[in-house]
């Protein structure tokens, strides 16, 4: 299973991860607690990450960036 794109729906404590391969097929759906997110991405090769966050019932922000391993 090679992940090309990850969609991350964030909330206060629970994060929903959806991952797709290079052909757009779903390859992973996972629910993560806040303290599991860094470990999840640290153990994956670089991929495109789409981040979704809503701060109100009618507003939202969608952005994407290439993921990278944080430097020490």
**For residue 64, pLDDT beyond 50:** no
The model's pTM: 0.66
* Helices assigned H by DSSP within the chain: 37-42
pLDDT band at 30 (very low <50, low <70, confident <90, very high): very high
CB atoms within 10 A of CB 16: 14
Contacts of 47 (CB under 8 A, 6+ apart): 3, 4, 5, 6, 19, 66, 67
Calpha distance 36→13 (Å, rounded): 10
Residue 15: pLDDT over 60: yes
């Amino acid at each position: 299973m090679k992940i090309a794109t990850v969609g991350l729906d964030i909330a206060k404590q629970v994060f929903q991860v959806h991952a797709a391969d290079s052909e757009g097929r779903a390859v992973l759906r996972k629910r993560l607690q806040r303290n599991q997110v860094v470990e999840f991405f640290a153990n994956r090769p670089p991929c495109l990450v789409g981040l979704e966050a809503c701060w109100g019932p009618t507003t939202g922000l969608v952005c994407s960036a290439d993921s990278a391993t944080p430097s020490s």
